[in-house]
Amino acid sequence: MDKIYLNELAFYGYHGVLAEETKLGQTFKVSLVLGLSTKKAGMSDSVDDTVSYADVYETVKKIVEGVPFKLIEALAEKIATKVLTDYPLLEEITVKLIKPNPPIPGHYESVAVEIKRKRSDING
């Protein structure tokens, strides 16, 4: 299976369990791996034969910058389901959702969740 990568898309959202997260908001980064066949697009050189990463970007932006979720797990699930539903050429998706600055004590770069879903997961 071929893959299209969208790496560390950055959005501002209001997701989290704590009140200050939903009030102040923070940056979230999303990386996607889109699994599909790109052979037809490679032969035709037409965006109509593939998934437009510009369109996927806008889809993800609306979700992350939209209705708040308490858990990044739920946010990642929403992204995976919506992208698979909206882009029928996709066979699978991996979503990595990074929360660079969660309000927890300690020294770390970020926290993240990564999920992989197949079309059969949303149609089954």
Strand runs labelled E in the chain: 2-13, 26-36, 92-99, 111-118
Q: What is the torsional sign of CA 59, 61, 66, 72?
A: positive
- Give the CA distances from residue 115 to residues 58, 63, 76, 78, in Å, rounded to whole numbers and listed in that order: 20, 16, 7, 11
- Active-site annotation holder among 29, 99, 116, 118: 99
> Can 99 be counted among the known catalytic residues?
yes
Compute the distance between CA of residue 12 and CA of residue 101 in angstroms, rounded to an integer. 12
Catalytic (active-site) positions: 99
